[in-house]
Amino acid sequence: MQVGPYSVAQLRISRALAAYGAVLPPGGPQIYLTDTLESPQATPQYPSLLARELSEQHKKALEIKKNVPVLVCIGNPPYDRHEAADGSNRKTTGGWVRWGDANASGAHDPAKALLASFIEPVRKAGLGSQLKNLYNLYVYFWRWAIWKVLEYGENDVPGIVAFITASSFLDGQAFCGMREQMRRLCDAIWIIDLDGVARGTRKEENIFAIETPVCITLTVRYGHKNKNIPATTNYCRISGTQSEKLAILQRVDNFDSLSWTTCSTDWQEKFIPQGQGKYFDFPLLTDIFPWQQSGVKAGRTWVIGESQELLNERWRQLFMAPDENAKRSLFKDAPPSTGGRKIEDTPVGLFTSARLAPISKVTTTEHERIIPYGYRSFDRQYLIADARCLDRPGPPLWLTYGNQQIYFAAIFTQPLSNGPAWTLSAIIPDLHYFRGSFGAKDIFPLYRDAAALQPNILPNLLDRLSAKYGYAVSAEDIAAYAYAVLAHPGFTGHFHGELISKEIRLPLTKDAALFARAVKIGRHLIWLHSYGERILPEGSRSGEIPPGAAKCTKAVPGTPEKYPENFSYNDATQTLHVGTGEFAPVSYALFNFEVSGLKVVQSWLKYRMKKGAGRKSSPLDDIRPKRWTAEYTTELLKLLWILETTIAGYPEQKTLLDDILSASLFTAAELPDVPEELRKAPGKGLEDVKEEQGFLL
């Protein structure tokens, strides 16, 4: 595939060596055209006479792979993530490194392949669901280089691997096995983190014209290595613009040219230094609420919409398809490697213990249910809640859903930027609920059961707090406290530097009066952000939101021909224009209300414009609402009123945070350890619970 670059490389390097007076070795500069990830046992097959020379080069490359030790492997291998794959496309999904050699019957056993040493520690750590992130080309090249340079022959062999690659392996859970093996096989590791996130919460220029953050990693073994002594890992981060980063790199003469921080020596720990300072003494939010769960991954966008009528029409059109092929095209089968839904699947229903008939065979247009759905922070839409349509419905979410359940949401794959650190949904949330992307096990249910009898709280914490404060502390109290402290931009602003660690920690006060003050604020916010459906104030009715200042000063037309195609904002008059309709007063802060990059009001409106927003998975997505409805106006006003009140309360929350930080705090070391079983989804087996009681929706 790369004959041109290969030929140019032969020419240029030969000429460069000759220009420096070097004598080329026999056979030329020893540059070979090959597939690095191909098995060393492969047999070259070039039937054309014109390809004979390439065949000879391939043979020499295979000889090096099999029998020639390599001291240094250096480069910028490709990085491209792909689906887990099912073995039908082995050549492009890791080749020999991922799949291993075929046995006598022609079958491949990935458990015996090189990549297995990266995979098994992840599974043993209970992180198997994260393995999808490991399947990336750069990871295969890392595994090949480690094998060739550091595992070839005896353990006394010195070697160096130096790559510039995507940086996801530095802290991703899927890469804990990769980090462990690097620590075992190397004496020292140096990492220059160049960042360069283009689509994240904190955007920064990349040194390349790509969107993927990158890092330079140099690993070395000096000779004999005791595999029971972890390598020393040194970390340096270079920030700034592209030109600033390149200028710093240009000045590097040796290791002393940069300032290094030593990372943890724990085998699987991140290749990023542990945080230092008061913040990192606070308990982790993930320890206070031990069970985190991914939101619903639908896998297709047409099952989510702004109204029940819209979803019913899409479902009807699916079943009006003239044949199975047309229906499959509309449905959007998941790729085979993902395990997602296909139209011939017969899963157990979300609301029944019985299996559902496959969509490919069903003639009725009945679905399980259409329910309200937490699509994005503060954005309530609707979902076709039918197990046949949802790739990963997240059974624990449905089994633990009740009229007291609250699903809190954060983000851990990206550092928080502006806005609140925590949001919530009173209804089943989407995988990307928090900010519209990067969702992964970031939903915190308040309870582990639908009856709200088993709090998802660190064991004994409520008793300890009750003893400390002198009154009974409930699960709702600790949730309200955390929400008051975290759900405002004062927190993300105060700890902006610390949050680069992607750790959310809760400053937990020892002062009873401060705790009570925070609980009062948090309870009000939870009621408000749940659209009046949770922790209702005395005398309130569920779903009621007190009106704010914003009004619909000019109605949005409800006719099809005047369905709004766009919206705009006039700062001078504080007017939000929706088509020819108007809402005022809407402050600039309200219009730009943000959750780590998600502009809440603007996102809400984009989804409800005539053409809609977001990607499309099927022609069914083209079925859109025909008009702006009165319900849209009511919902928009509710959103504006909720955010108005929220913004008005930010100064009080900021003062509260300052007071809490000035008082005595619990440290993480003072709290009990988290039992590992409480980090897992509740239940004795979800299928058993289904059969006994069904889904409690």
Of 365, 328, 362, nearest in space to 343 by CA: 328
**Could you tell me if 256 and 368 lie in one domain?**
no
Q: What is the mean pLDDT of residues 327-348?
A: 88
**Could you tell me if 241 and 362 lie in one domain?**
no
**Could you tell me if 341 and 261 lie in one domain?**
no
The tokens of 124 are what?
Answer: 């043993």
Q: Could you tell me if residue 573 is inside a domain?
A: no
Q: Could you tell me if residue 621 is inside a domain?
A: no
Residue 402 has pLDDT above 80, yes or no: yes
- The vertex-498 CA angle with 495 and 501, nearest 5°, equals 135
**Could you tell me if 185 and 298 lie in one domain?**
no
Q: Could you tell me if residue 11 is inside a domain?
A: no
State how far the Cα of 605 lies from the Cα of 587, in Å rounded to an integer. 16
| 510-516: long-range pairs with CB below 8 Å, 24+ | 510/468, 510/663, 510/664, 510/665, 510/666, 511/660, 511/663, 511/664, 512/468, 512/469, 512/470, 512/471, 514/656, 514/659, 514/660, 514/663, 515/465, 515/469, 515/473, 515/477, 515/481, 516/469
Q: Which residues contact 527 (CB under 8 A, 6 or more apart)?
A: 534, 535, 536, 537, 540
pLDDT category at 484 given cuts 50, 70, 90 is very high
Question: In the prediction, which pLDDT does 155 show?
Answer: 62
| Helix (H) and strand (E) counts in the chain | 19, 18
Percent of the chain at pLDDT > 90 equals 70
State how far the Cα of 281 lies from the Cα of 267, in Å rounded to an integer. 22
Question: In the prediction, which pLDDT does 50 show?
Answer: 59
The tokens of 661 are what?
Answer: 């930080």
For residue 377, count CB atoms less than 10 angstroms from its CB and return exposed for 0-12, middle for 13-18, buried for 19 or more: buried
HEC profile for 358-384? CCCCCCCCCCCEEEEEEEECCEEEEEE
Given 216, 242, 274, the domain boundary residue is 274
Residue 567 has pLDDT above 60, yes or no: yes
| 572-580: long-range pairs with CB below 8 Å, 24+ | 576/601, 578/605, 578/628, 578/636, 579/628, 580/554, 580/556
The tokens of 158 are what?
Answer: 């010195």
Tens of pLDDT, residue by residue over 192-219, are 999 888 777 788 899 999 889 999 999 9
State how far the Cα of 406 lies from the Cα of 417, in Å rounded to an integer. 24
Given 207, 240, 274, the domain boundary residue is 274
Which helix (H) or strand (E) covers residue 691, if one does?
helix 686-693
Q: Could you tell me if residue 40 is inside a domain?
A: no
Given 253, 274, 295, the domain boundary residue is 274
Residue span of the structural domain in which 393 resides: 287-545+650-693
Classify residue 23 by its DSSP letter.
Answer: P
Tens of pLDDT, residue by residue over 26-47, are 878 888 888 899 999 888 766 5
Of 456, 449, 515, 512, nearest in space to 481 by CA: 515
Q: Could you tell me if residue 75 is inside a domain?
A: yes
**Could you tell me if 247 and 101 lie in one domain?**
yes
- The vertex-597 CA angle with 275 and 584, nearest 5°, equals 135
**Could you tell me if 303 and 260 lie in one domain?**
no
Tens of pLDDT, residue by residue over 260-294, are 999 999 999 999 998 878 999 999 999 999 999 99
Which helix (H) or strand (E) covers residue 74, if one does?
strand 72-75
pTM of the predicted protein model: 0.84
Please give the full DSSP string across 256-318, using - where no structure is assigned. GGS--EEPP-STTS-SSPPP-SGGGGSPBHHHHS---B--BB-SSGGGEES-HHHHHHHHHHH
Q: Could you tell me if residue 551 is inside a domain?
A: no
Percent of the chain at pLDDT > 70 equals 96
Question: In the prediction, which pLDDT does 189 show?
Answer: 98
Residue 377 has pLDDT above 70, yes or no: yes
**Could you tell me if 305 and 359 lie in one domain?**
yes
Of 398, 375, 388, nearest in space to 348 by CA: 388
Report which of residues 87 and 675 the model is more confident about: 675
Q: What is the mean pLDDT of residues 96-118?
A: 90
Tens of pLDDT, residue by residue over 571-614, are 999 999 999 999 999 999 999 999 999 999 999 999 999 999 98
Question: In the prediction, which pLDDT does 154 show?
Answer: 65
Contact 433, 377 (CB under 8 A): yes
Of 250, 295, 651, nearest in space to 444 by CA: 295
Q: Could you tell me if residue 571 is inside a domain?
A: no
Total tally of structural domains belonging to the chain:
2
Q: What are phi and psi of 260, to 5 degrees?
A: -110, 150
Of 436, 452, 480, 424, nearest in space to 288 by CA: 480
**CA distances from residue 367 to 223, 315, 548 in whole angstroms, order as listed:** 65, 8, 38
Classify residue 146 by its DSSP letter.
Answer: I
**Could you tell me if 346 and 227 lie in one domain?**
no
**Could you tell me if 381 and 259 lie in one domain?**
no
The tokens of 316 are what?
Answer: 């009807």
**Could you tell me if 306 and 259 lie in one domain?**
no
The tokens of 328 are what?
Answer: 């499959």
Q: How far apart are the first and last CA of the chain?
A: 55
Cis peptide before 585 (omega within 30 of 0): yes
**Could you tell me if 383 and 250 lie in one domain?**
no
Q: What is the mean pLDDT of residues 114-124?
A: 94
Question: In the prediction, which pLDDT does 697 show?
Answer: 35
Q: Could you tell me if residue 468 is inside a domain?
A: yes
Tens of pLDDT, residue by residue over 129-161, are 788 889 999 999 999 999 999 987 666 789 999
State how far the Cα of 352 lies from the Cα of 695, in Å rounded to an integer. 7
Classify residue 102 by its DSSP letter.
Answer: B
**Could you tell me if 430 and 459 lie in one domain?**
yes
Question: In the prediction, which pLDDT does 83 show?
Answer: 73
pLDDT category at 49 given cuts 50, 70, 90 is low
Tens of pLDDT, residue by residue over 164-202, are 999 999 998 899 999 999 999 999 999 999 988 877 778
